[in-house]
Structure 1
Amino acid sequence: MALALALGGALLWQQDHRPPRLTQKDIDRAVLHTLNTQPLPSAARKAADKIMPSVVRVVGQLDLEDRPATPPDKPENGKAPAAGKDKSARPAPGKARPPADDADDGDEDGDPEHPRRGVGSGVVIVENGLILTNFHVIHGARRILVTFANGLESEARVVNVQPEQDLAVIRALKLPDDLEPATLRGTGDLAAGDTVVAVGFPFGIGPSVSSGVVSGLDREFRSPEGRNTLSRLIQFDAAANPGNSGGPLVNSEGEVVGIVTAILNPTAARTFIGIGFAVPIESAAGAVGMPPF
Structure 2
Amino acid sequence: MRRPALYSRSSSFGQGMPEAAAHATASQNPLHDDGVPEPTQAQATDAPQSGQSVPTPTPAHHLRLLWATVGLLALALALSLFFSMQPPVRQLTQKDIDAAVAHTLQTTVLHSPGLKAYDAIMPSVVRVTGLGKVMRDRDGGESVERSVGTGVVIVDKGVILTNLHVVRGAQTIKVTFADGLESAASITGVQPENDLAVLQAHKIPDDLSAATLRSTDGLAPGEQVMAVGYPFGIGPSASSGVISGLERTFRSPEGKQLMSNLIQFDAAANPGNSGGPLITMEGEVIGIVTAIYNPNQQKSFVGIGFAVPIESAAAAAGMPPF
Provide TM-score, normalisation by structure 2. Answer: 0.65
The alpha-carbon deviation at position 229 of structure 1 amounts to 1.4
Q: Does 1:280 align with 2:302?
A: no
Partner of residue 108 from structure 2, selected from 7, 30, 37:
37
Contact 1:166 1:223 in 2 (8 A): no
Q: Does 1:167 align with 2:167?
A: no
Q: Does 1:209 align with 2:238?
A: yes
Question: Which AA in structure 2 matches 1:173?
Answer: H
Deviation string, structure 1 residues 218-250 (Cα, Å, up to 9, x no partner): 001224663331110000000001100000000
Q: How far apart in 2 are the matches of 1:30 and 1:125? A: 41
RMSD of aligned alpha carbons: 2.2
Distance 1:225 1:287, change over 3 A: farther
Question: Which AA in structure 1 matches 2:119?
Answer: D
Deviation string, structure 1 residues 235-273 (Cα, Å, up to 9, x no partner): 000000110000000011110000000000111321111
Partner of residue 56 from structure 1, selected from 117, 121, 126:
126
Q: How far apart in 2 are the matches of 1:153 and 1:122? A: 13
Q: Does 1:230 align with 2:259?
A: yes
Query: Is the radius of gyration larger for structure 1 or structure 2?
Result: 2
Q: How far apart in 1 are the matches of 2:268 and 2:194? A: 21
The answer for unaligned runs of 5 or more in structure 1 is 1-26, 66-106
Q: Indicate the structure with greater helix content.
A: 2
Q: How far apart in 1 are the matches of 2:143 and 2:160? A: 26
Q: How far apart in 2 are the matches of 1:36 and 1:194? A: 30
Percent of residue pairs bearing the same amino acid type: 62
The answer for unaligned runs of 5 or more in structure 2 is 1-98
Deviation string, structure 1 residues 58-86 (Cα, Å, up to 9, x no partner): 00012359xxxxxxxxxxxxxxxxxxxxx
Equivalent residue number for residue 273 of structure 2: 244
Distance 1:34 1:175, change over 3 A: same
Equivalent residue number for residue 292 of structure 2: 263
Give the paired residue count. Answer: 221
The alpha-carbon deviation at position 37 of structure 1 amounts to 1.6
Contact 2:127 2:151 in 1 (8 A): yes
Higher relative contact order (CA closer than 8 Å, sequence separation 6+): 1
The alpha-carbon deviation at position 34 of structure 1 amounts to 5.6
Distance 1:219 1:31, change over 3 A: closer
Q: How far apart in 1 are the matches of 2:104 and 2:216? A: 42
Alignment of 1:53-132 (within 5 A): 53-63=123-133, 112-132=141-161
The alpha-carbon deviation at position 35 of structure 1 amounts to 5.0
SS at match of 1:113: strand
Q: How far apart in 2 are the matches of 1:191 and 1:30? A: 33
